[in-house]
Structure 1
Amino acid sequence: MNSSNNLRHKTITGVIWTFFEQLLRVGIQTITTIILAWFLLPADFGLMAMTAVFFAIANSLMDSGFSQALIRKKEVDQTDYSTAFYANLVLGLLAYLLLFASASLIASFYNEPRLVMLVRVVGLVVIINSFQMVQVADLTRNLNFKIQFKVTMPSAIFSGVVAISMAVMGFGIWSLVAQMLMSSFAATALYWIVNKWRPSKDFSVESLNEMFGFGSKLFLSSLINTVFQNIYIIVIGKLFLATLVGYYFFAQKLQQVVVTQLTNAIQKVTYPALSTIQDDNKALKEFYRKIIQVVTYIVFPCMIALVVLAEPLFSVMLKDDWLPAVPYLQLLCIAGLLYPLHAINLNILKVKGRSDLFLYLEIIKKLMIVIIILISVQFGIFGILVGQIVSSVLAYIPNSYFSVKMIDYSVSEQLKDFIPTLLLSITMGVFMYVTGSVLPIGNFAYLLVIGLAGTVFYVLINHLLKMPAQLLMLQIIKEQYLKTGHNHG
């Protein structure tokens, strides 16, 4: 296998490996959340959701783009790593102090006094995370995702067991707080055990300035993105009851099991891998085309199937208190269809080192979101959800624009690479809905029978039509099998 094919194989396989690693981890977290939903109220989840945006902002400040700068640098030494490590610690402490001081203001904004203590306790996660950022960047830079899997899975299981135990004992919302703290603490401890990198006394102002020069723009982009990722929770929390925030938050967590984890997998793997060929536009374009085909082959049918199966899924897994969240999940799944494509296009800018354009693009898209929210909020919470779908579709235009400029990957070529898969996924969804409507079966049987029927239908039609995405998936699986067999031999 030549170097070009080897990089393509490592990149796409890495996306798939990381996706399923994150899918398993978040799957465990989701199972934990579902169990917790039997013991907690929707309003409890709503209160935690209200703290999410401020915690995420603090986490972004703690990182400040240093991890991305480390990953992208062609040559990194011990001084660079140590400099980033100490910078993260100082910024993490600063971020927590800001959270602590602003807790009362946050509680006043939502008119929820209970948020004061919640914000101050949950904020401790930021300090804990500051000890793991460089460890994760080191592993990611070396494409060592297997070790990360060995860290995240035990952490998710441990924190889930603690949270469920506390919920059963009647600790209420604090079981959700414990889940966040224990997950972060366990992951940080394990990263220091399994990864051998250790900080030294080296610190370089020159290295700090170089990394911050690149990372600061990504930090500002991340900060803006974090606020706007949570802006719907902010708006819903301000204008509606905590219970409705809980419905939205819970539905969003289920949607994120697939779409957000796949997006994270794309960014996590393609960024360090393709940074090594950042000057070869032809190779970059070819890799990105393959990635889009593989990603949409996975995410489109998953999102469409979740739309169809949402109601029986809630009926089987949850108490009736949560049924009003079904349409929230369905609309969020439609909005999430294009998220991985946004990530792929934005990654091109990072690989090319154009963090300035990345920032400008984020500002343009967020101004567009503000306008859509101002219009959609007048139609209530479902107007806000439909507005998310509109925002996602419109955001694809500026996101894809720079792919044309940077690597000559036109919008028409992108559409050609994913529209057939989208149409097949919608066809699968219609087949599932029609089949389910004529079969007199209960909710549990509906999930099993219709879910399986949809999967078989999708794979079979792809096979009959010889769709490139499925052929590529089979090729990757075959290459991985042969590679594994060769290694064992």
Structure 2
Amino acid sequence: MKREFSTAAAWSAAAAWMEQAAAALIFLVIARIIGVESFGIASMAFAFLFLGEFLVRDTITEAIIERESLEDGRLEATFFALTGIATAIMVALMGLAQVVAKLYGQPSVAPLLTTVSPAVLMIGLGGVSTALLRRRMEYKTLAIRTIVGVTLGGLVGIAMAMNGYGAWSLVGQRLAELGINSVLAILGARWWPRRLPTRAEFGLIRGLGPRVLKLRTWTLVVNQTPTVMLGIFADPRAAGLFAFSARLVEIVIKVSVRVIQGVAQSAIAELRRQTGRTSGFFLDLTELSAFAGFVSLAGLALVAFPLTRVLLGPEWDAAGHIIPFLCVAGAAMALTATQEAYLLALDRVDAYLGVIAIEAALGIILVGLASPFGAVAAAAAVALRAVLVLPLCTRAALAPEAIPARGFAHALRSPAIVTVAMGLVVALWRLLALGRIDDIAYVALAVLIGVAMALIAVVGFMPGTFARLKSYVRA
């Protein structure tokens, strides 16, 4: 299983790094061209689009990955149910576009949301094919699909931005990227429904799928509450600064934590089918996720300013004060992402679903109260919400296989020590160098110092941990 996980993770990592390198470059170019306000208006529209996308992406298709065997008719039933849901959501978004625009007090949001709504249907059409590729652990195919989609979509977005389309550039980018992804997923999986499912076969999608649909809904509320609240109680500039900061943190999470999470669910599900016991593997993955997430996010928090100025100029300086708070929330997400994948693989998501519902409600209250004070206050509320909910998520994750809390804490010990050591050294560098040397040189040297310190701490002072991590590479 280590060998299968490592091979899949390698392809997933390659895809994530190449995708996010291209996505980051495209994202920064478009943001710089269109400016803070246009970026904020597009983000306000996309907050509702993402709700629709989350309801069809990796929801009722999750049972295709989890089931020990695929019953005749399950794929057809899932495809038509998912396509129907996607179509209904697309129509609903188009119908609600004017209401959303009035809620924000920004009329330009309505046509943006109406035009980009077909993205939901594109995801629905490719959903079963994507799930089949994940079940087969064909991450090479998924990697190629992802890289081609983000690159071609980005080229469309940049071309539109350079020709003065403003916020519409992000709409064009999204539609092109998702359309290409869906087509390539269908071709890669070599599957398309050849008949209509029976009524009895539609009954096969009951169980895990609807619960995942609820989970994705609450997760989307958690993720998009700040952008919506800032759009209502602040202004497009505040929403744009927050959305940019969140996207930068998301890029770091995707190239570190999501690489592990994306493969973890498939690997844990396969291990459960083979052995019936997955707790040890889960703790290993928790340690890997913590290393990847804690170190990378702590580093980002320490260089957030002047990194934003280097990337986009002084207009975006405020993002440098937002990012550190979002990195705290991201560190918690590094753990909960693996917990979610583990529970989905075991089909034991009910308790976790309740916790995410609490997180959504808590976020509405905290972020709603903070948003009138601006994007930095909203980011602080997001960090507080994540810290308060993490113990509840962990408790739900440890329960199915009665994993002791001591074992979970032990898995976090080494990542925490390495992160603190790295953070202290980079903080000292910040104290000595920030403002005294060129910003680009400061950021570049801070990254090199942080990476070197993390490697020294693991290799030099934690030989046992280093050996465990190396075993995944050797596998």
Q: Is 1:240 equivalent to 2:234 in the alignment?
A: yes
- Deviation of the 1:279 alpha carbon: 7.3
Q: Is 1:138 equivalent to 2:132 in the alignment?
A: yes
Task: String of CA shifts for 1:347-387, please: whole Å, max 9, x gaps.
Answer: 33322222433332322333333443355457543332222
Q: Residue 71 and residue 280 in structure 1: after superposition, are their counterparts in 2 closer, same or farther (change >3 A)?
A: closer
Q: Residue 236 and residue 114 in structure 1: after superposition, are their counterparts in 2 closer, same or farther (change >3 A)?
A: same
Q: Is 1:457 equivalent to 2:456 in the alignment?
A: no
**Where does residue 121 of structure 1 map in the other structure?**
115
| Distance in structure 2 (CA, Å) of the matches to 1:55 and 1:307 | 28
The secondary structure found in structure 1 opposite 2:207 is helix
Task: String of CA shifts for 1:149-177, please: whole Å, max 9, x gaps.
Answer: 11110111111111111111111111111
Aligned residues: 473
- Deviation of the 1:288 alpha carbon: 0.8
Deviation larger for 325-334 or 59-68? 59-68
Would you say the 8 A contact 2:160–2:169 is kept in 1?
A: yes
- The residue type paired with residue 97 of structure 1 is V
- Deviation of the 1:433 alpha carbon: 2.6
**Where does residue 192 of structure 1 map in the other structure?**
186
Structure 1 residue corresponding to 2:462, chosen from 449, 466, 477: 466
Q: Residue 26 and residue 353 in structure 1: after superposition, are their counterparts in 2 closer, same or farther (change >3 A)?
A: same
- Deviation of the 1:48 alpha carbon: 1.5
Q: Is 1:152 equivalent to 2:152 in the alignment?
A: no
Q: Residue 437 and residue 63 in structure 1: after superposition, are their counterparts in 2 closer, same or farther (change >3 A)?
A: closer
Would you say the 8 A contact 2:308–2:320 is kept in 1?
A: yes
| Distance in structure 2 (CA, Å) of the matches to 1:101 and 1:180 | 20
The secondary structure found in structure 1 opposite 2:45 is helix
**Where does residue 439 of structure 2 map in the other structure?**
443
Would you say the 8 A contact 1:82–1:199 is kept in 2?
A: yes
Q: Which runs of 5+ in 1 are unaligned?
A: 1-6, 480-489
Would you say the 8 A contact 1:267–1:344 is kept in 2?
A: yes
| Distance in structure 2 (CA, Å) of the matches to 1:406 and 1:356 | 11
Structure 1 residue corresponding to 2:407, chosen from 395, 407, 413: 413
**Where does residue 37 of structure 2 map in the other structure?**
43
The secondary structure found in structure 2 opposite 1:170 is coil
User: Which stretches of structure 1, 4 residues or longer, exceed 6 Å deviation after superposition?
Assistant: 279-282
- The residue type paired with residue 440 of structure 2 is F
Write the mapping of 1:18-417 to structure 2, written as runs, cut at 5 A.
Answer: 18-62=12-56, 65-77=59-71, 79-260=73-254, 262-278=256-272, 283-373=277-367, 376-377=370-371, 380-417=374-411
- Deviation of the 1:450 alpha carbon: 2.2
| TM-align CA RMSD | 2.2
Deviation larger for 375-384 or 350-359? 375-384
The secondary structure found in structure 2 opposite 1:75 is coil
Q: Percent identity, please.
A: 18
| Distance in structure 2 (CA, Å) of the matches to 1:125 and 1:434 | 46
- Deviation of the 1:101 alpha carbon: 0.8
**Where does residue 483 of structure 1 map in the other structure?**
none
| Distance in structure 1 (CA, Å) of the matches to 2:264 and 2:199 | 29
| Distance in structure 1 (CA, Å) of the matches to 2:86 and 2:399 | 37
Deviation larger for 271-280 or 308-317? 271-280
| Distance in structure 2 (CA, Å) of the matches to 1:219 and 1:213 | 11
| Distance in structure 2 (CA, Å) of the matches to 1:457 and 1:264 | 23
- The residue type paired with residue 406 of structure 2 is S
- Deviation of the 1:289 alpha carbon: 1.2
Q: Residue 268 and residue 461 in structure 1: after superposition, are their counterparts in 2 closer, same or farther (change >3 A)?
A: closer
| Distance in structure 2 (CA, Å) of the matches to 1:427 and 1:46 | 37
Deviation larger for 231-240 or 11-20? 11-20
- Deviation of the 1:259 alpha carbon: 1.6
| Distance in structure 2 (CA, Å) of the matches to 1:468 and 1:376 | 44
Q: Which runs of 5+ in 2 are unaligned?
A: none
| Distance in structure 2 (CA, Å) of the matches to 1:375 and 1:95 | 30
| Distance in structure 2 (CA, Å) of the matches to 1:255 and 1:232 | 15
The secondary structure found in structure 2 opposite 1:113 is coil
Would you say the 8 A contact 1:294–1:472 is kept in 2?
A: no
The secondary structure found in structure 1 opposite 2:33 is coil
Task: String of CA shifts for 1:90-114, please: whole Å, max 9, x gaps.
Answer: 2211111111111111011001111
| Distance in structure 1 (CA, Å) of the matches to 2:453 and 2:424 | 11
| Distance in structure 2 (CA, Å) of the matches to 1:225 and 1:45 | 23
The secondary structure found in structure 2 opposite 1:112 is coil
- Deviation of the 1:249 alpha carbon: 0.4
Q: Residue 368 and residue 79 in structure 1: after superposition, are their counterparts in 2 closer, same or farther (change >3 A)?
A: same
| Distance in structure 2 (CA, Å) of the matches to 1:26 and 1:155 | 12
- The residue type paired with residue 187 of structure 1 is N
- Deviation of the 1:200 alpha carbon: 1.1
Deviation larger for 141-150 or 26-35? 26-35
Deviation larger for 438-447 or 182-191? 438-447
- Deviation of the 1:287 alpha carbon: 0.2
Would you say the 8 A contact 1:350–1:358 is kept in 2?
A: no
Deviation larger for 154-163 or 57-66? 57-66
